[in-house]
Amino acid sequence: SQLAEENPWALSVHEGESVTVNCSYKTSITALQWYRQKSGEGPAQLILIRSNEREKRNGRLRATLDTSSQSSSLSITATRCEDTAVYFCASSSSFSKLVFGQGTSLSVVP
């Protein structure tokens, strides 16, 4: 089974709306990273939130981390069509590989 998992599997919103993607992980982590992958491209990091942090912001993006429930969320406000992509969470632990979830496919329509 996956050590990191996003939900929902897919969602669609209208431009301008806000959206939240959730992530659950199963191991002790040093950090949780969020990546975005647009069609035809490799993933690109959006936010890294360390295990001693509870919230991190990057422009219209806001990530939260709850180590007690082993969960994280990524919220996007004022969505744009160019936010259409697959969003991954990836868990980091010391001396271990980065583990990606299966991704949430977000579609932002006009």
Nearest distance in Å: CB 8, other proteins: 14
Token pair for residue 5?
Answer: 């998992």
Q: Can you point out the beta strands (E) in the chain? A: 4-7, 10-14, 19-25, 31-37, 44-50, 55-58, 61-66, 71-76, 85-92, 99-100, 104-109
Q: Which of 83, 84, 100, 106 binds other proteins (CB under 8 A)?
A: 100
Which of these ranges, 17-25, 62-70, 74-82, 88-96, lies near other proteins under the rule CB under 8 A?
Answer: 88-96
**Strands 44-50 and 85-92, sheet pairing:** unpaired
The single residue listed with the structure tokens 């991704």 is 103
Nearest distance in Å: CB 33, other proteins: 7
Name residues contacting other proteins, limited to 40-69 (CB under 8 A).
Answer: 40-45, 48, 50
* Side-chain half-sphere CA neighbours of 38 within 13 A: 8
Q: Which of 56, 64, 88, 89 binds other proteins (CB under 8 A)?
A: 88
Nearest distance in Å: CB 101, other proteins: 8
* Rounded distance between C-alpha atoms, residue 47 and residue 34, angstroms: 5
Binding site for other proteins (CB under 8 A): 2, 30-31, 33, 37, 40-45, 48, 50, 86, 88, 92-98, 100, 102-103, 105
